[in-house]
Every structure is written in C-alpha cells, then in structure tokens.
C-alpha cells in the first residue's frame, strides 16, 4: 500500500493545535477582561490596532488565525469520522473550504488595516 499524503493536512493541524493550546486561553481571558471593561495596560484598542497595522503583526495574526481555523476544521473532520459519519471526502471538503475561506478573509481584513 502506498504511503499516505495525509501529512499535507496533518502538519498544519498539529501546528494549529499547538497555537490553540498556547494562545486561545489567553485570548479568551483577555476578551472577557475587555468585555468587563478591564483592559490591561498596553492592550488598548489603539495599541492593538497599531500591532495589526504593522507587517510583523499582520503575519503573526494571520498565522494564529489561519492555523487555528485549519486545526479546528481537521479536528471536526476527525470527530465526524469517529462518530461514524463516513462521508469523509464531503465533510473534509466542506470543512477545509471553510477554513480556507476564513483564512482568506483574515488576510483580506489584515491587508486593509
């Protein structure tokens, strides 16, 4: 049996999983703090806008969002498979397209800042 090409989707999934594990809890906590009006110093709208306007900032934000989307899409694909939804090609296509569209939208919004 030939070797699988799954590493193409698995590597970004693994990278995204690592990014999610490190970044998402922090982003959720900061988001809640912001919602409560307790914005930590240095994380005001203006300074974060400045970060997103900078080339390196755009790259980091794109990396975090795109990898997280890809990882979530792949995880959801595996979950569907585990639950016995065997239409894998259809599910994989839908989820990966959603992740690609989300990544493209992220790139577009970042480009416009």
Residues that bind other proteins (CB under 8 A): 1-8, 10-11, 14, 78-79, 81-82, 84, 86
CA distances to 68, 84, 95 from 10, rounded to whole Å, are 13, 20, 14
- Judged by beta carbon, residue 15 or residue 60, the one nearer other proteins is 15
Question: Residue 22 in contact with residue 77, Cβ under 8 Å?
Answer: no
- Judged by beta carbon, residue 2 or residue 36, the one nearer other proteins is 2
**Min separation Cβ 81 and other proteins, Å:** 6
- Judged by beta carbon, residue 1 or residue 36, the one nearer other proteins is 1
Q: What is the DSSP string of 41-90?
A: TT-SHHHHHHHHHSHHHHHHHHHHHHHHHHHHHHHHHHHHHHTT---HHH
**Min separation Cβ 28 and other proteins, Å:** 23
Copy the structure tokens of residue 100: 């690609």
- Judged by beta carbon, residue 61 or residue 67, the one nearer other proteins is 67
**Min separation Cβ 51 and other proteins, Å:** 32
Q: Which helix (H) or strand (E) holds 35?
A: helix 7-35
**Min separation Cβ 44 and other proteins, Å:** 39
């Amino acid at each position: 049996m030939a070797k699988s090409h799954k590493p193409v989707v698995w590597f970004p999934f693994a990278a995204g999983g690592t990014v999610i594990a490190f970044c998402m809890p922090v982003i959720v906590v900061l988001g809640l703090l912001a919602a409560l009006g307790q914005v930590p110093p240095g994380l005001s709208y203006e300074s974060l806008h400045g970060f997103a306007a900078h080339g390196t900032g755009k790259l980091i934000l794109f990396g975090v969002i795109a990898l997280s989307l890809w990882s979530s899409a792949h995880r959801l694909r595996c979950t569907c498979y585990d639950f016995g939804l065997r239409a894998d090609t259809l599910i994989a296509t839908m989820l990966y397209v959603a992740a690609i569209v989300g990544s493209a939208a992220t790139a577009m919004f970042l480009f416009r800042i």
